[in-house]
Each structure stands twice: as structure tokens, then as C-alpha cells.
């Protein structure tokens, strides 16, 4: 039980610290811009006005062409460019229901953490928010979403009364994010209505009961959250496919995507050599045994990576 609710306790303490007296410009239940920049300082690229890292749109498009196996990238240690390219870094979480298995997801994380309802704490949160004409609830978070965002929700696996959206608000998120996506360690409701909406989504369960202030309360927005066994930061590159979801720190995203390109080419070359019918599996996989084959592979890899970069029209 300590392990299960340890992060929730930390989130509550963090939320309480944010609700302490602060300068007028400080927000009530999220990081200030300075805090956001400080906790994500390894990212040196563009940012949103609130300081959240903003990986390029072109990286999101690249991620949509990847699989989890490519993104998590295994380094097989082939000098000159082996499978995985020596740089795989992703935080993977699975065991989700996948709404659209054939639809890839790639976007920038917007995080929100819930806690089990506690009226005395919620009253303080709402009182501070009222001073700024804010009602702290899930819809406040939805209204902050930008195109290319993926909403990542820590609802601590809750089923009854833990449904972050039904079909109407799911549709709103789809429009606000331009079909970015939703990941919820909790539930959704009205699965029949949601299934026809073209946005990727990952959830633990479906349940007909609604989320209300009496079942769960918003604790924090755009701070670190836990999804299963993974810590997610605002601005992470979120990549999902039919297997599950990877959360990639923005400062590692370029390296991960480049490594995924290498893995893709490696797998293409490996199958091509198997198609020739001349080699045993150990001759080729996981790395070529003979120097002549290693040279052939490295030449093939170089050529294909150059073609990939040329097809993208940039060097990002």
C-alpha cells in the first residue's frame, strides 16, 4: 500500500506547497514558468509560454512512423551502427486498452494528477482558485490543451467514478489537440460513443460512472505524474502504438528518433538477407558475423539513412 499510494502522497504535499501564499502571478496548482524551466533545463529548444518544452512538429511526425520496439531501441553493440544505434531511451508502459490499435500517437505531454476525494483539501484548492476566477476540475485542464498535445492523466487506476471523459469531452480533446491523444491510468466512459472518434487513446478500463468532486479531485497540473511504473514530465514526447506507450524526455527525443531510424534500416536489411536464402540466422542476426557482411550492412545503413533525411527535407 505504501508503494501504491506513495506518489499520491507526494503529489498532495506538492499541491499543498503550491497553495501556500505566493506572488500574485503564481498559478494555484501547477509549476510557475521558472519552475518548469528549472525542472526541464536539459531541454534547450523551443518552449510554450508557460515554459513547457515544445519539441518540433517534425519530430512528432517522425515518431508516428516508429514502433515501440524501435523507439525503446536496443543497442547490440555493432561498431559503425548496429541495431538500435546505441541510443535507445524510452520509458514504456503497457497493459492498456487501446482504442484504435491501427492509429499511431505522437504528441507533447500535458500532465494532470488526481487524488482520492478529500473535502477539506479540495475546499482549500477551490478557494485559492476562486481568487483567480478558476474552477479546478478536469475541464480547466482540457481548456489549456494545444494542438499536438497528448493529455496524460494519473487517476491511480481508478474504475468506478474514475472516468476522465465521456464522448463529448473526448471529442473536445480531439478538436483542441488536433487528434493528439489521451493516456489515462484510470477509466473512460461511453466507450460506444468514443469508439467512432478518430483520436488515439489508452486507458485501463471503461466504466459507466461519472467522475465528480466526490469521487476524485484534481491535485496538480503540468507537474511530474506516475503512469504505471513510469514517471511522466510535462513536455515529454509521448509515442503510442498497438503495444503501449513510451514517454521520451524531450532532451533525448532526437537521439531516440535517430536510433529508431537505424533500427528500422537494420531490420529491413536483415529480412532482405534472409530472403536470399543463403544464410543461417546466426550469420546475420543480431549483427553480421563476417566482416564482408558487416561492411555491406554499414554501407546499406549509410545510404538508407541519407535517403531518410533527404525525404524529410531537413536535418532535424
Is residue 282 over pLDDT 80? yes
Write down the CATH number for the domain with range 2-57+92-248. 3.50.30.40
DSSP assigned state of 149 = E
Q: What mean pLDDT is reported for the chain? A: 86
User: Among 122-136, 164-178, 221-235, where is mean pLDDT lowest?
Assistant: 122-136
Is residue 141 within 8 Å of 112, Cβ to Cβ? yes
User: Among 22-26, 65-69, 177-181, where is mean pLDDT lowest?
Assistant: 22-26
Q: Which residue has the higher pLDDT, 79 or 29?
A: 29
Is residue 17 over pLDDT 90? no
Distance of alpha carbon 170 from the chain centroid: 17
Query: How, if at all, do strands 230-232 and 245-248 pair?
Result: unpaired
The pLDDT value given to residue 230: 94
Helix (H) or strand (E) segment spanning residue 283: helix 281-284
Tens-place pLDDT, residues 101-125 = 999 999 999 999 999 999 898 888 8
Average pLDDT over residues 16-43: 69
Domain ranges of the chain: 2-57+92-248, 79-88+250-312
The pLDDT value given to residue 248: 95
Listed residue (277, 272, 19, 8) closest to 130, CA to CA = 19
Task: Please tell me whether the overall predicted TM-score, pTM, comes out greater than 0.75 for this model.
Answer: yes
- Let me know the angle formed at the C-alpha of 80 by 92 and 280, rounded to the nearest 5 degrees: 80
**Dist CA 39 CA 224 (whole Å):** 10
Average pLDDT over residues 145-168: 97
Tens-place pLDDT, residues 285-295 = 999 999 999 99
User: Residue 80: which pLDDT band, with cuts at 50, 70 and 90?
Assistant: very low
Is residue 316 over pLDDT 80? no
Amino acid at each position: 500500500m505504501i508503494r501504491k499510494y506513495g506518489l499520491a502522497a507526494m503529489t498532495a504535499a506538492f499541491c499543498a506547497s503550491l497553495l501556500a501564499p505566493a506572488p500574485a502571478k503564481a498559478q494555484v496548482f501547477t509549476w510557475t514558468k521558472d519552475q518548469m524551466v528549472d525542472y526541464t533545463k536539459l531541454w534547450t529548444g523551443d518552449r510554450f509560454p508557460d515554459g513547457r518544452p515544445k519539441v518540433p512538429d517534425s519530430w512528432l511526425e517522425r515518431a508516428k512512423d516508429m514502433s515501440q520496439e524501435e523507439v525503446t531501441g536496443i543497442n547490440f553493440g555493432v561498431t559503425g551502427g548496429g541495431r538500435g544505434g546505441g541510443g535507445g531511451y524510452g520509458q514504456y508502459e503497457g497493459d492498456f486498452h487501446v482504442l484504435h490499435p491501427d492509429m499511431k500517437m505522437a504528441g507533447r505531454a500535458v500532465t494532470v494528477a488526481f487524488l482520492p476525494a478529500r473535502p477539506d483539501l479540495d475546499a482549500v484548492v477551490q478557494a485559492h482558485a476562486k481568487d483567480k476566477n478558476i474552477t479546478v476540475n478536469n475541464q480547466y485542464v482540457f481548456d489549456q490543451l494545444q494542438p499536438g498535445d497528448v493529455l496524460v492523466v494519473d487517476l491511480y487506476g481508478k474504475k468506478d467514478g474514475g472516468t476522465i471523459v465521456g464522448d463529448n469531452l473526448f471529442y473536445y480533446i480531439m478538436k483542441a489537440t488536433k487528434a493528439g491523444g489521451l493516456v489515462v491510468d484510470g477509466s473512460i466512459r461511453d466507450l460506444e460513443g468514443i469508439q467512432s472518434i478518430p483520436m488515439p487513446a489508452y486507458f485501463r478500463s471503461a466504466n459507466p460512472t461519472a467522475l465528480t468532486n466526490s469521487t476524485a479531485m484534481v491535485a496538480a497540473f503540468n507537474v511530474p505524474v506516475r503512469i504505471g511504473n513510469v514517471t511522466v514530465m510535462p513536455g515529454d514526447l509521448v509515442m503510442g502504438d498497438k503495444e503501449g506507450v513510451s514517454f521520451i524526455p524531450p532532451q533525448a527525443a532526437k537521439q531516440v528518433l535517430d536510433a529508431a531510424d537505424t533500427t528500422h534500416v537494420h531490420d529491413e536489411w536483415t529480412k532482405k538477407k534472409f530472403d536470399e536464402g543463403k544464410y543461417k540466422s546466426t550469420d546475420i542476426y543480431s549483427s553480421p558475423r563476417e566482416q564482408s557482411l558487416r561492411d555491406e550492412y554499414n554501407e546499406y545503413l549509410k545510404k538508407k539513412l541519407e535517403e531518410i533525411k533527404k525525404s524529410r527535407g531537413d536535418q532535424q
